[in-house]
Amino acid sequence: MYRRYAIYVIPDQEWGDFGAAWLGWDTRAGSTVPLIEPALSGITERPRKYGFHGTIKAPFHLAKGQDQAALVKATFALAHDMRAFSLYSLQVSQIGSFFALTAPEEHAQLRSVADRAVTGLDMFRAPLTATDLQRRRVSRLTQQQDANLEKWGYPYVFDDFKFHLTLTGPVKDAGQVKPRLVAALQSPLSKPLSVRDICVCGEAEDGRFYVVERCAFGA
Protein backbone atom coordinates (compact mmCIF):
# COMPACT_ATOMS: atom_id res chain seq x y z
CA MET A 1 0.00 0.00 0.00
CA TYR A 2 1.23 3.47 -0.88
CA ARG A 3 0.64 6.79 0.85
CA ARG A 4 -0.88 8.44 -2.21
CA TYR A 5 -1.75 7.48 -5.76
CA ALA A 6 -1.73 9.36 -9.05
CA ILE A 7 -2.53 8.70 -12.70
CA TYR A 8 0.39 9.70 -14.91
CA VAL A 9 1.64 9.38 -18.44
CA ILE A 10 5.04 7.76 -17.91
CA PRO A 11 7.04 7.84 -21.17
CA ASP A 12 8.86 4.66 -22.10
CA GLN A 13 11.73 3.75 -24.41
CA GLU A 14 14.02 6.66 -25.41
CA TRP A 15 11.81 9.35 -23.90
CA GLY A 16 11.56 7.46 -20.63
CA ASP A 17 15.29 6.76 -20.53
CA PHE A 18 16.06 10.43 -21.10
CA GLY A 19 13.65 11.58 -18.40
CA ALA A 20 14.98 9.11 -15.85
CA ALA A 21 18.57 10.20 -16.49
CA TRP A 22 17.65 13.89 -16.49
CA LEU A 23 15.90 13.76 -13.12
CA GLY A 24 17.90 10.93 -11.57
CA TRP A 25 14.90 8.72 -10.71
CA ASP A 26 13.24 6.04 -12.82
CA THR A 27 9.65 5.44 -11.74
CA ARG A 28 9.46 2.46 -14.10
CA ALA A 29 12.28 0.52 -12.43
CA GLY A 30 11.96 2.16 -9.02
CA SER A 31 15.65 3.04 -8.97
CA THR A 32 18.06 5.96 -9.05
CA VAL A 33 19.83 6.76 -12.33
CA PRO A 34 23.09 8.66 -12.93
CA LEU A 35 22.31 12.23 -13.94
CA ILE A 36 22.94 13.52 -17.46
CA GLU A 37 23.81 16.93 -15.99
CA PRO A 38 25.19 16.42 -12.46
CA ALA A 39 25.93 20.14 -12.23
CA LEU A 40 22.16 20.81 -12.46
CA SER A 41 21.20 18.34 -9.71
CA GLY A 42 20.01 21.21 -7.54
CA ILE A 43 17.29 22.33 -9.94
CA THR A 44 16.10 18.78 -10.64
CA GLU A 45 15.86 17.83 -6.97
CA ARG A 46 12.27 18.96 -6.42
CA PRO A 47 10.69 17.02 -9.33
CA ARG A 48 13.02 14.03 -8.86
CA LYS A 49 10.78 12.11 -6.48
CA TYR A 50 7.92 12.16 -9.02
CA GLY A 51 10.06 10.93 -11.90
CA PHE A 52 9.53 11.96 -15.52
CA HIS A 53 5.78 12.17 -15.94
CA GLY A 54 2.80 14.05 -17.26
CA THR A 55 -0.03 14.45 -14.76
CA ILE A 56 -3.42 13.07 -15.76
CA LYS A 57 -4.96 12.89 -12.27
CA ALA A 58 -2.94 14.57 -9.53
CA PRO A 59 -1.78 12.70 -6.39
CA PHE A 60 -4.54 11.79 -3.96
CA HIS A 61 -5.12 9.72 -0.84
CA LEU A 62 -7.45 6.77 -1.28
CA ALA A 63 -11.02 7.30 -0.14
CA LYS A 64 -12.32 5.26 2.77
CA GLY A 65 -13.40 1.81 1.61
CA GLN A 66 -11.28 1.88 -1.56
CA ASP A 67 -8.06 -0.01 -2.23
CA GLN A 68 -5.24 -0.27 -4.74
CA ALA A 69 -6.66 -3.30 -6.54
CA ALA A 70 -9.96 -1.56 -7.22
CA LEU A 71 -8.18 1.58 -8.46
CA VAL A 72 -6.04 -0.45 -10.85
CA LYS A 73 -9.07 -2.37 -12.15
CA ALA A 74 -11.02 0.85 -12.76
CA THR A 75 -8.04 2.46 -14.52
CA PHE A 76 -7.67 -0.55 -16.81
CA ALA A 77 -11.37 -0.28 -17.67
CA LEU A 78 -11.04 3.44 -18.38
CA ALA A 79 -7.93 2.94 -20.53
CA HIS A 80 -9.54 0.15 -22.54
CA ASP A 81 -11.89 2.67 -24.18
CA MET A 82 -9.07 5.04 -25.18
CA ARG A 83 -6.97 5.13 -28.35
CA ALA A 84 -3.20 5.48 -28.61
CA PHE A 85 -1.82 8.72 -30.05
CA SER A 86 1.43 10.62 -30.43
CA LEU A 87 2.53 14.08 -29.38
CA TYR A 88 4.62 15.91 -31.97
CA SER A 89 6.74 19.04 -31.72
CA LEU A 90 7.16 19.05 -27.95
CA GLN A 91 9.06 22.11 -26.81
CA VAL A 92 10.93 23.36 -23.75
CA SER A 93 8.73 25.94 -22.04
CA GLN A 94 9.01 28.03 -18.90
CA ILE A 95 5.95 27.71 -16.66
CA GLY A 96 6.25 30.22 -13.88
CA SER A 97 9.63 29.57 -12.29
CA PHE A 98 10.24 26.07 -13.69
CA PHE A 99 10.86 24.42 -17.05
CA ALA A 100 8.82 21.65 -18.63
CA LEU A 101 8.13 20.02 -21.96
CA THR A 102 4.82 21.09 -23.43
CA ALA A 103 2.81 20.49 -26.58
CA PRO A 104 2.55 23.61 -28.79
CA GLU A 105 -1.25 23.47 -28.75
CA GLU A 106 -4.06 21.63 -27.03
CA HIS A 107 -4.39 17.99 -28.06
CA ALA A 108 -8.01 16.79 -28.13
CA GLN A 109 -7.27 13.13 -27.33
CA LEU A 110 -4.93 14.04 -24.50
CA ARG A 111 -7.50 16.41 -23.04
CA SER A 112 -10.14 13.68 -23.27
CA VAL A 113 -7.90 11.21 -21.40
CA ALA A 114 -7.32 13.72 -18.61
CA ASP A 115 -10.96 14.80 -18.34
CA ARG A 116 -12.20 11.21 -18.18
CA ALA A 117 -9.61 10.21 -15.59
CA VAL A 118 -10.44 13.20 -13.37
CA THR A 119 -14.15 12.38 -13.33
CA GLY A 120 -14.14 8.62 -13.82
CA LEU A 121 -11.69 7.84 -11.02
CA ASP A 122 -12.77 10.48 -8.53
CA MET A 123 -14.59 7.94 -6.37
CA PHE A 124 -11.15 6.71 -5.31
CA ARG A 125 -9.98 10.12 -4.07
CA ALA A 126 -10.32 11.07 -0.43
CA PRO A 127 -11.50 14.69 0.09
CA LEU A 128 -8.78 17.24 0.72
CA THR A 129 -8.24 18.26 4.32
CA ALA A 130 -8.43 21.88 5.44
CA THR A 131 -4.62 21.86 5.60
CA ASP A 132 -4.39 20.61 2.01
CA LEU A 133 -6.75 23.33 0.82
CA GLN A 134 -4.85 26.04 2.67
CA ARG A 135 -1.54 24.86 1.21
CA ARG A 136 -2.92 24.90 -2.33
CA ARG A 137 -4.46 28.33 -1.88
CA VAL A 138 -1.06 29.88 -1.22
CA SER A 139 -0.80 29.98 -5.02
CA ARG A 140 -2.87 32.57 -6.81
CA LEU A 141 -5.88 30.67 -8.10
CA THR A 142 -8.66 31.98 -10.26
CA GLN A 143 -12.24 31.56 -9.09
CA GLN A 144 -12.65 28.57 -11.42
CA GLN A 145 -9.39 26.98 -10.28
CA ASP A 146 -10.46 27.32 -6.67
CA ALA A 147 -13.78 25.68 -7.52
CA ASN A 148 -11.88 22.86 -9.23
CA LEU A 149 -9.76 22.44 -6.13
CA GLU A 150 -12.85 22.14 -3.95
CA LYS A 151 -14.66 19.69 -6.23
CA TRP A 152 -11.88 17.65 -7.84
CA GLY A 153 -8.92 18.03 -5.46
CA TYR A 154 -6.72 19.86 -7.98
CA PRO A 155 -7.06 23.32 -9.54
CA TYR A 156 -5.68 22.61 -13.01
CA VAL A 157 -8.31 20.41 -14.63
CA PHE A 158 -10.64 20.72 -17.65
CA ASP A 159 -10.19 24.19 -19.20
CA ASP A 160 -7.25 24.84 -16.86
CA PHE A 161 -5.48 21.60 -17.76
CA LYS A 162 -2.12 21.98 -19.50
CA PHE A 163 -0.20 18.78 -20.07
CA HIS A 164 3.48 19.11 -19.23
CA LEU A 165 6.47 16.96 -18.36
CA THR A 166 8.37 18.73 -15.61
CA LEU A 167 12.12 19.13 -16.11
CA THR A 168 13.18 21.38 -13.22
CA GLY A 169 12.17 22.93 -9.97
CA PRO A 170 12.38 26.72 -9.55
CA VAL A 171 15.14 28.26 -11.67
CA LYS A 172 16.79 31.61 -10.97
CA ASP A 173 18.87 31.97 -14.12
CA ALA A 174 16.55 30.78 -16.89
CA GLY A 175 18.76 32.24 -19.61
CA GLN A 176 21.59 29.86 -18.77
CA VAL A 177 19.49 26.78 -18.03
CA LYS A 178 17.24 26.70 -21.11
CA PRO A 179 20.08 26.25 -23.68
CA ARG A 180 21.41 23.31 -21.68
CA LEU A 181 17.96 21.77 -21.59
CA VAL A 182 17.50 22.18 -25.34
CA ALA A 183 20.94 20.66 -26.01
CA ALA A 184 20.26 17.66 -23.75
CA LEU A 185 16.88 17.11 -25.46
CA GLN A 186 18.17 17.29 -29.02
CA SER A 187 17.81 13.55 -29.66
CA PRO A 188 14.46 12.91 -27.87
CA LEU A 189 12.85 16.01 -29.43
CA SER A 190 13.52 14.62 -32.91
CA LYS A 191 10.95 11.89 -32.23
CA PRO A 192 7.26 12.01 -31.27
CA LEU A 193 6.17 10.95 -27.79
CA SER A 194 3.87 7.95 -28.13
CA VAL A 195 1.09 7.73 -25.55
CA ARG A 196 -0.21 4.17 -25.47
CA ASP A 197 -1.19 3.86 -21.84
CA ILE A 198 -1.68 5.59 -18.52
CA CYS A 199 -0.02 4.50 -15.31
CA VAL A 200 -1.27 4.06 -11.80
CA CYS A 201 1.61 5.35 -9.68
CA GLY A 202 2.09 5.23 -5.94
CA GLU A 203 4.03 7.40 -3.52
CA ALA A 204 5.97 5.18 -1.11
CA GLU A 205 7.10 6.01 2.41
CA ASP A 206 10.39 7.31 0.99
CA GLY A 207 8.42 10.04 -0.81
CA ARG A 208 9.23 8.73 -4.27
CA PHE A 209 6.72 7.63 -6.88
CA TYR A 210 6.74 4.16 -8.44
CA VAL A 211 4.79 2.69 -11.34
CA VAL A 212 2.22 0.31 -9.87
CA GLU A 213 0.61 -0.71 -13.16
CA ARG A 214 0.64 0.31 -16.81
CA CYS A 215 -2.88 0.35 -18.17
CA ALA A 216 -2.76 -0.02 -21.94
CA PHE A 217 -5.21 1.75 -24.23
CA GLY A 218 -7.58 -0.52 -26.07
CA ALA A 219 -6.66 0.62 -29.56
Indicate the domain borders of the chain.
4-105+164-216
- List the beta bridge partners of residue 62: 125
Q: What CATH number has the domain spanning 4-105+164-216?
A: 3.90.1140.10
> In terms of pTM, does the model score above 0.85?
yes
Each residue's pLDDT tens digit, 165-216: 999 999 998 888 999 999 989 889 889 999 999 999 999 999 999 999 999 9
Question: Smallest Cα–Cα separation from 58: which of 137, 20, 5?
Answer: 5
Each residue's pLDDT tens digit, 160-170: 999 999 999 99
